[in-house]
Amino acid sequence: MTKADWENFFATRVHRCNVLVIGDIMMDKYYYGEVRKFASDAPVPVAKIVKRRNSLGAAANIAHNLANLGCKTSVAGFVGDDHNFETLSVQLQKCGIDQEGLIATDWPTTTKVRIMSGHVQMFRMDFEDMSPRSDEQFDALKDFVKRRLNDSLDAIVLADYEKGVCTERFCASVIRAAHNHGVPVVVMPYGQQWIKYAQADYVTPNVAKINKILLSPIKTDDDDAAERAGRYIMRKFKIKNVLATRSESGVTLVTEDDAFHLPTRAQEVFDSAGAGDTVAAVLAMALAGGLKPVDGAYIANVAAGIVLRKSGTYAITRDDVLNALAG
C-alpha cells in the first residue's frame, strides 16, 4: 500500500471500525523521583517524588491504542469499587472509551505502582486479588459481549494477562459467539495454557511468551525458527494465524499458506513495555477495517517500532503511524 492508500484508510475506514477489548483491566501509576540519599531509619534509597503519571494498562491500554487510532472502542472486564477504579474510569472517559462492560467486584482494581528514577524502575507495588470470579460475574460479562455482538462489532481482542478473566471456558464462549457473528478474534496470550485460545483467528505473542511453550527456545533474530514456532502453535493449539513480535527483529506473520518476516522500523529499542499491546490493537484495527492480514502485520510492525522508542506504557496515535509511514 502507498502513503496515499494508508491516508485514505485512516480517513475513510478507521472511524467506522467498532472493536471490543475483553480481558484483564489494569491501572499503571508512575512516580518519578530524584534519588540523592539513603533513609536514616533503613538502608534504602529515598526518592523525592517530582512527577506522577497515570496510564491505562493491559486490556485498557489496548483499548487506549484503538481509541487513539480513531476506532469506536469498548472495554470489558472486572474492576473493583475503589480509588484506583475512579482514576481508571476518568482515564477511559477522557479517551472516549465505552466502559459499560466493566463488571464491579469485591476485589481491588488491578494496579501497578512504579517508582522511577529517571528511566530506571526502582520498585513496583501490585494491588490485585487473583481469587476466582463468580459464575454470576462471568455471566454478566458474557451478556455484555452478546449485546455488543448484536449491536455489530468488527473485531474482538481477548487480552489475557492471567488476572482472572481469560479462563478456558470464558475464552471458548467468546470465540464461539464472535464467529457466529462473523467477527474475528485477536488474542494477546499469556502463560502456557494456550489451548483455551483454540479457534482464535490470531494470537500475538512475543518471543519470550513463545519460549514458555516450547521445549527448545528460539532466538529473536531467527526467521526460520519463528516460522516453525508459529506453525507449531497453530497445529498444537488449533489457532488459525500467528503474529509473533520479535523486538529489534520486527514481526513474523504465519498463516496457513505463507509466512512474512517484517523487520522493525525502530532505530533503537529503548523500552519494549506496551509494544505487544500496540501490535494486538493495530492488528485488530486493520482486520476491522478490512485490510489484508499482511498489511495488518505491516502497520502493526510500524506502530510497534514507534512504541519501542518510548519509555513506559505508550498508546500509539493515528498521527504517529501516518508520520512513520510517510518517513
- Domain 3-27+55-111+129-326: state its class: alpha beta
> What pLDDT score was predicted for residue 309?
78
**Catalytic machinery residues:** 277
pLDDT of residue 207: 95
What pLDDT score was predicted for residue 270? 47
pTM score above 0.85: yes
Q: Which residues of 103-118 are buried (b: 16+ CB within 10 A; e: fewer)?
A: bebebbbbbbbbbbee
Query: In this predicted structure, what is the pLDDT of residue 268?
Result: 57
Asked if residue 262 lies in contact with residue 246, where contact means CB atoms within 8 angstroms, the answer is no
Contacts of 115 (CB under 8 A, 6+ apart): 31, 33, 47, 121, 122, 123, 124
Check residue 271 and give its pLDDT. Answer: 46
pLDDT tens by residue, the chain, 327 residues: 888 899 999 999 999 999 999 999 999 999 999 888 898 898 888 989 999 999 999 999 999 999 999 999 999 999 999 999 999 999 999 999 999 999 999 999 999 999 998 878 888 999 999 889 999 999 999 999 999 999 899 999 999 999 999 999 999 999 999 999 999 999 999 999 999 999 999 999 999 999 999 999 999 999 999 999 999 999 999 999 999 999 888 899 999 999 999 997 655 554 455 788 999 999 999 999 999 999 999 999 999 888 887 766 789 999 999 999 887
Nearest to 305 by CA among 269, 277, 274: 269
Q: Where are the beta strands (DSSP E) in 98-161?
A: 98-105, 111-117, 120-127, 155-159
Radius of gyration over every alpha carbon of the chain, rounded to an integer in angstroms: 19
For the chain, the structural domain boundaries read: 3-27+55-111+129-326
CB 20 within 8 A of CB 153: yes
* CA pair distance 281, 221, nearest whole angstrom: 24
Which of 221, 217, 247, 238 lies closest to 229 in space, CA to CA?
217
Mark out the alpha helices in 151-257 (DSSP H runs): 168-180, 207-211, 223-237
SS3 126: strand
40 vs 130: CA distance, rounded Å: 36
> Considering only CA atoms, which of 67, 69, 60, 74 is closest in space to residue 28?
60
Phi then psi for residue 58, to 5 deg, are: 55, -130
The strand ranges marked E within the chain are 18-23, 25-38, 45-58, 72-80, 98-105, 111-117, 120-127, 155-159, 185-188, 202-203, 242-245, 251-254, 259-262
Around Cβ 5, how many Cβ atoms within 10 Å? 11
The residues, any chain, with a CB within 8 Å of residue 210's CB and separated by 6 or more, are 218, 229, 233, 244
